[in-house]
Amino acid sequence: MAFDFILMLTADDRTIPDARARLDEALEGGVRHIGFKDVGLPFSELRGLADAIRAAGGRSYLEVVSLDERSELASARAAIDLDVDVLLGGTRAAEVTRLTRYHPVRYYPFPGRIVGHPSVLEGGVEDIVASARSLAELEHVHGLDLLAYRFQGDVPALMAGVCAAVDKPVVMAGSIDSEARVCAAAAAGAEGFTVGTAALHGAFPADRSGFAAQVRSILSITARARAQSTAPRRIALAAHDMRKSHLKAWVHRHARALEGHRLICTGGTGKMLVNAEPVLTIQRLQRGARGGDQQLGALIATGELDAVIFFIDPTQPHGGDADLQALTRLAALHDTPVALSPAAADMIAAALLPPPEGPLPA
C-alpha cells in the first residue's frame, strides 16, 4: 500500500466487545485495511470478524500483544487459522516464522524491547534501529510494526531511523491520535499507520458525530499526508508491443518523479526502460508470454504493488488477453489501482508520486 490507514477495532490493546457492529460502521466510512487484537473476544467471534472483513473486500490484520512465548505462538497459529492477510506485532520472529513461512500471511513483528500491557517500546534509538535491521534480514519477515508513539524519546528520529535502515515496509502503531502524528509518520517513510482507541474516542476532527465520520476524517487526513510520504512506491509497468513506445514516452516524461521508487516490469518492457532511463530502479520479471503477467499478479495478491500501469493495444487480439483479464481481476479484488492508458497513468502519478523539486529539464 502507498501510505494507508489501518483501522484497529481495539481499545487499550484489546479487541472491543462490539467489534462486529463497529465493523459495519467502519465500512460505511470507507476504510479497507481493518485489524483486531488476539485478545478481547472468543476465537469464534474473531473468526466471524475476519470473515466479514474479507467478504467486504477488505484486508485483514491481527496484532499480537502477548508477552510470553507460549501465548505469542498461539496467536501466530490463530492468525493462520483465521486466514488473516497480515500478522502484526510480536517479538519472537525466529519462532513465529517457523510457523508462518508455510502460509500466505504476511508478518510484521515489533522491533525493539516491548514491555507491559498496554505495550510500551523501551531502549535507545540506536538499539531499536539495530533490532529493526536484524529483523528485516529474516527471509520470512515481510515488514515491521513499530510502536513509535509508545516510545518516550525522539519519535520522529526513531521513525526516520528505522525506515532508512530497512528495505521493507514499516507500519507505525500506538497512540497515533492527531493529523500531526499521521503526517510525521508519512514524512518518515512509513508504509502506513494504525489507529484504534483514538477513533473510538472521537479524537479526530469530523463534520459530524459517529464512528463512520471518524473513519472518513482519518481517511481524509491520510490522503493529505500521502503527499508528504517519502516511502518508495512500488509500481508495475508493462505494455503490449504496439504500446511500448507510449510507455517509454510516459516514463521519460515522469522520469524525475519516478527516481527512487521501485519499478517492476515484465521482461521486454523492463529491458527497454533500463536502456532508456538507466537512473531508474527497475526490477525485471519474466517476459509476459513466459509468465511475467502471472508474476505481477502474485505481487498484487501479496500486497506488494501500489499500482499497475499496463498500456494495452485494444485494436488487436493478443495471446495474453487471458493473462490481462486475470491481472485486472486480481487488482480489483485487492483494490490496487490499474491504468491502461497514458491519461489514466497520469492520474496515478499525480496521486502517488510527489512532484519533483526544481525546474524541469529542457
Residue 190's pLDDT is: 96
DSSP 65-98: ---SHHHHHHHHHHHHHHT-SEEEE-S-HHHHHH
Q: Is the pLDDT of residue 47 over 90?
A: yes
Domains of the chain: 4-226 (3.20.20.60), 234-352 (3.40.50.1380)
How high is the pLDDT of residue 324?
84
Whole-number pLDDT of residue 118: 74
Q: Which of 113-117, 142-146, 241-245 has the highest mean pLDDT?
A: 142-146
Residue 257 parent element (H or E): helix 255-258
Is 81 designated active site? no
How far is 154 from 184, CA to CA, in rounded Å?
12
Q: What number is the average pLDDT over the span 124-139?
A: 96
- Residues 301-326 have pLDDT tens digits of 988 999 999 999 888 776 667 778 88
Could you count the other beta carbons within 10 Å of the beta carbon of residue 344? 15
27-45: pLDDT as tens digits: 999 999 999 988 889 999 9
Predicted pLDDT at 320? 62
**For residue 208, what are the CA distances in angstroms to 30, 50, 80, 221?**
15, 28, 38, 16
- Catalytic-role residue among 4, 145, 293, 323: 293
C-alpha span between 239 and 135 (Å, rounded)? 37
| Cβ atoms < 10 Å from Cβ of 325 | 11
User: At residue 237, does pLDDT exceed 90?
Assistant: yes
How far apart are alpha carbons 80 and 77 in whole angstroms? Answer: 5
Strands 106-108 and 86-89: parallel
| Per-residue pLDDT tens digits for 57-85 | 999 999 987 778 998 999 999 999 999 99
pLDDT band at 46 (very low <50, low <70, confident <90, very high): very high
Model confidence at 1, pLDDT cuts 50, 70, 90, reads low
The grid coordinates of residue 82 equal 483465521
pLDDT of residue 359: 52
pLDDT of residue 358: 52
- Which pLDDT tens digit goes with each residue over 288-304? 778 888 999 999 998 89
DSSP string, 139-155: TT---EEE-GGGBSS-H
- Which of 353 and 25 is assigned the larger pLDDT? 25
Q: What value does the mean pLDDT of the chain take?
A: 91
Quote the pLDDT of residue 292: 87
Average of per-residue pLDDT across 124-135? 96
Using one digit for the tens of pLDDT, what is the confidence trace for 181-231?
999 999 999 999 999 999 999 999 999 999 999 999 999 999 999 988 888
The size of the chain, in residues, is 362
Q: Give me the percent of the chain exceeding a pLDDT of 90.
A: 76
pLDDT digits (tens, 9 = 90+) for 251-267: 999 999 999 899 999 88
Query: What pLDDT sits at residue 159?
Result: 97
Mean pLDDT over residues 131-143, rounded? Answer: 96
pLDDT of residue 314: 86
What whole-number percentage of the chain has pLDDT above 70?
A: 97
Composition of the chain by helix, strand, coil, percent to 5: 45, 20, 35
